[in-house]
Structure 1
Amino acid sequence: MSSYSKLIIFIVVLVLISAALVFIESSTDSINKSMPEISDGIVQGDADYNEAVELVNNKNFYESMEKAESAGDNYNKSLLELHEIQKNFSADVNKVHQEYITTTIRELELKLEAVDSLKEAIECFEVYSNYTGSNYGFEANDYMNQAVEYQHQRDSIVSDNPNLFKQNFIM
């Protein structure tokens, strides 16, 4: 085999190894990089949802619908990112991280159900169908209460495993 062939093989192997290292970024690193943005989306979604509920209670239906839609957009964005992370799990993701992602996904799915029910309630209240609107409102509340249980479970996972999660402290 000529030295030219050996050089080509060496370069190809080097390129493949480099590509593999870049392509196979640690799933844990991916989780750590994505979580601040995902968390921000959840926090903003919660704030928008709570504001939407307050606006509904004040009979400001147009603005409440805008806030409900914004909450849904924030939740959906975070959920899509979590599904992407979950889809790309590799062997380095331990059971705790997997449980955390799965729990957060379920939390967001329930929060999206709550948003959908809240939007139905708003539409009913706008046309003075208060009984039906109230039923949708109760349904939204039930979904959100279930979601909060998953949120508490997610918080427990983090507090029980501080060495597995990066903690950001605000001083």
Structure 2
Amino acid sequence: MSKYIKLIIFILILGIISAAILYMDSSVDNMNKLMPEISDGIVNGDKDYNDAVDLVNNKSYANSMNKAISAGNNYNNSLNKLHILKNNFTSDITQVHKDYINDAILELELKLKAVDKLKESIECFEVNYNYTGSEYGFEANDYMNQSMSYKNERDSLVSENPKLFKQNFFI
């Protein structure tokens, strides 16, 4: 065999081994790796959202809008990572893990709706449409309250199945 053929065979074998190692990385391992980032996005989004509400109550509309946009960005980043996890589930994922991820997705979708309503509220307050702004604010609050039911469901899944969740897994 020539040196080139041996080199090509070596590269192919190395590629196959690399692909096998990547494939063997389980969905649970991927979840455990991504959960801290997802959790940080949700926590930071919640903080930014609450800051935006405080700022709008203090009539600091430009700063409030910036915080609302930041909250939305944080929630969207976490939601995108959750969709990646969900789209790459393998056989090692339990129904409990699937339910957890689905609940987190539904929670974030509601939080994003709340952010949208908060931004509409801010825009109304900026032009002194206070009644309409308040209505949008109430809608935002309702979405946030609805999102809490999914967070509570996730917390229940963790407390009922502690062996399925590493300490750093859950949000």
**TM-score, length basis structure 1:** 0.89
User: 1:158: how far off?
Assistant: 1.1
Show CA shifts across 1:89-115 (max 9, x none).
111111011000000000000000000
1:55 is matched with which residue? Answer: 55
Structure 1: where are the runs of 5+ without partners?
none
CA distance in 2, matches of 1:72, 1:95: 29
Superposition pairs for residues 11-160 of structure 1, below 5 Å?
15-160=15-160
Show CA shifts across 1:131-154 (max 9, x none).
111110010000000001111111
User: 1:155: how far off?
Assistant: 1.1
- List structure 1 runs of 4+ shifted beyond 3 angstroms: 8-15
Show CA shifts across 1:55-114 (max 9, x none).
111111111101100100000000000000111111111101100000000000000000
Structure 2: where are the runs of 5+ without partners?
none
**TM-score, length basis structure 2:** 0.89
CA distance in 1, matches of 2:141, 2:88: 33
Identity %: 64
| Aligned residue-pair number | 166
Secondary structure, in 3 states, of the residue corresponding to 1:89? coil
User: Aligned-pair RMSD on alpha carbons?
Assistant: 2.2
CA distance in 2, matches of 1:13, 1:67: 51
2:165 is matched with which residue? Answer: 165
CA distance in 1, matches of 2:12, 2:63: 59
Show CA shifts across 1:38-59 (max 9, x none).
0010000000001111111111
